[in-house]
Amino acid sequence: MSVYLDTSDIAQIKMLSDLLPIAGVTTNPTIVAKSGLKMVNLLPQIREALDSDGLIFGQVISTHADEIVDEALKLNQMVDNFIVKIPVNMQGVKAIKRLKNEGVATLGTAIYTSQQAIFAALAGASFVAPYINRIDTLTGNAIETVESIAHLLSYHAQSCKIIGASFKNTKQVIECLSVRQSSVTIPVELAHKMMENPCVNDAINKFHQDWVDCYGSLSH
């Protein structure tokens, strides 16, 4: 199980990777566009901001297999420990197959169904990313889809791992992590929500007050 940050916010990556056990950073064209930077400039900044040698994921914008492969090979040279994200359709699966032969690690993204996931995995993808909230919006059964994907991978492609994406609330995140061998990538806002609980601060304040009442100060 791993937790990734789904963001291009360098300041947040630096802060949260220092505070939390973050395995890496995922991006997509929308996230990159929000940064205002080109990939060649953004990816090295993400690498520098990470408090580890964690994985960095970046997505192609090409749509034909030949162009996807060419773009993926260029992206793969920009930083180390890089995973190329490829939307899973016919052309995407073809590109994943070819990149597997080139030794380039890939993640099959824009996963809405278990059949997409298994084709991506069999083609050689190292990861698949089901879109949790979008599946819930369409069918209401995102976690069932993740469970189905996990079941299929356990039989047919054990080296391929699930990274749930597209979350809107912490409940979805925890439900996804409850599926065996699933990881998640979450936006910065959810990372904060998962750890910021006023009840915890209330408990800490009560401990401090009880200590001070007995010993006079917060010292041993």
What spatial distance separates the first Cα and last Cα of the chain, rounded to whole Å?
38
- Which residue type sits at 205? N
Give me the half-sphere count of Cα atoms (radius 13 Å) on the Cβ side of residue 10.
Answer: 12
Is 171 among the residues known to form the active site?
no
Catalytic residue among 14, 34, 74, 85: 85
Which of the residues are catalytic? 85
